Chains A and B, each alone.
Chain A
């Protein structure tokens, strides 16, 4: 069993655990960089369940939003409030970047590395890392240097690396942006698998078809604001915001 359900014991050195770090409440989030306002006051709540897809045109602020939620960026205003103390919330989330960084090590060592940081005993690491690789179909490449893998394999490795931590929340930033259809299918299957095992996936995408396939709910971001946040079915059938409707019709939003 690779992904333990939320609430089960995860990392090694940990204090008393809350039942869940969710829901995540975001209020009044603002972020600017280089004199440019990227997020202009963002409010929403993310609950446990099916994946939340953050969609919107390029430059809407999707990647920045994910980095703020994950704690890699500090907002100029507003709050990112987890249902657990920040330290614990931090330990129980993971993120996969659009261009994941492959350490200059074998695929297996790449998966084992964050497990070591999480304080997992050496004996457990290898077994858990191998299981994670097997789940993404990379068991046969375990000893291969990670940077020699193809783009699709690297993305799957990055997913295995994050999933091996058994996070309660997993942020994925455009995980299929640079992949061909076959690799995209493989990555989506893994994402579904991870979500089914009880991890809350929060994922950005500019691909509406992908959002339809994966989303439980949709957070539509446009020009640094959440224009609409709705269950996926409702969002795709009858978007309420005119910008969302235009985006769904395939119009280019300025």
Chain B
């Protein structure tokens, strides 16, 4: 246990001194996850809004599929993106495999269904309340989508944060498509996995602490957003 204590002390020193390798890994993690959330939101939020207001044949099947995709195993998503981007794959010519772009893509694929399913739930409840009033104003489902997205912005922000939390904690997919290349595609989760396997605990511990702090900050932000929303809508 003395080893462990020493490792922890070194970890704290790494964080305190702003170790460049550590900072680089943290920065890349945040950038990849943020980009993935942005990309997934572009697809997920409109899809969620559409499923909330539109009635079309097969809608229930889409919702079931979406809810199932929420539990998509990261390694499976990683494998799919790997096959897509590998040299002999359909998008192999882009040369994206083992780059941060591939990691963004993999995480976006993972969390887009989550954003879509969660935003559908939030917006469907709001649409049920708004529908008749908006129809009276002369607004159909299509015109309602931007209204719902705007009025549901606090709830949707918490949905985005949930997606960010999931993305930044994910390890399987980014490991497969990123390759965990030092200084290039190494992020917090893959570094922790590698350093732990190597027995280099200080860096793993330091990254773990940073990751925990990020998760904590995300949840604090969710709580603040909920409070702000409650203040507006009693």
Contact = CB atoms under 8 A, between A and B. Distances in A.
Q: Answer yes or no: are A and B bound together in one complex.
A: yes
A72 B136 contact: yes
Contact of A105 (B129, B151, B231, B234): B151
Contact of B232 (A72, A91, A113, A147): A147
B143 A101 contact: no
B213 to A, nearest CB: 32
B135 interface: yes
B134 to A, nearest CB: 8
Interface string B144-162: 0001000110000000000
B163 to A, nearest CB: 22
A223 interface: no
B132 interface: yes
A97 B132 contact: yes
Interface string A87-111: 0001100110100110111000000
A101 B234 contact: no
B155 to A, nearest CB: 10
Contacts of B135: 72
A177 B143 CA distance: 31
Nearest to A103: B151
B139 A104 contact: no
Contacts of A145: 231-234
Contacts of A25: none
A121 B138 CA distance: 17
A71 to B, nearest CB: 8
B130 interface: yes
A95 B136 contact: yes
Contacts of B152: 104
A28 B19 CA distance: 82
Interface in A140-187: 145, 147-148
Nearest to B155: A104
A118 interface: yes
Contact of B136 (A70, A103, A148): A70
Contact of A113 (B132, B137, B231, B233): B137
B136 A104 contact: no
Contacts of B136: 70, 72, 94-95, 97
A95 B234 CA distance: 24
Given A90-B138, A105-B151, A118-B138, A97 B133 contact: yes
A114 interface: yes
Contacts of A103: 130, 147, 151
A104 B233 contact: yes
Contacts of A90: 138
A104 B234 CA distance: 10
Contacts of B143: 117
A94 B129 CA distance: 18
Contacts of A94: 136
A106 to B, nearest CB: 9
A111 B151 CA distance: 15
A158 to B, nearest CB: 9
A145 B234 CA distance: 9
A91 B138 contact: yes
B138 A100 contact: no
Interface of A: 70, 72, 90-91, 94-95, 97, 100-101, 103-105, 113-114, 117-118, 145, 147-148
Given A72-B136, A104-B232, 10 more contacts: A70-B136, A72-B135, A97-B133, A101-B132, A103-B151, A113-B137, A117-B137, A117-B138, A145-B233, A147-B233
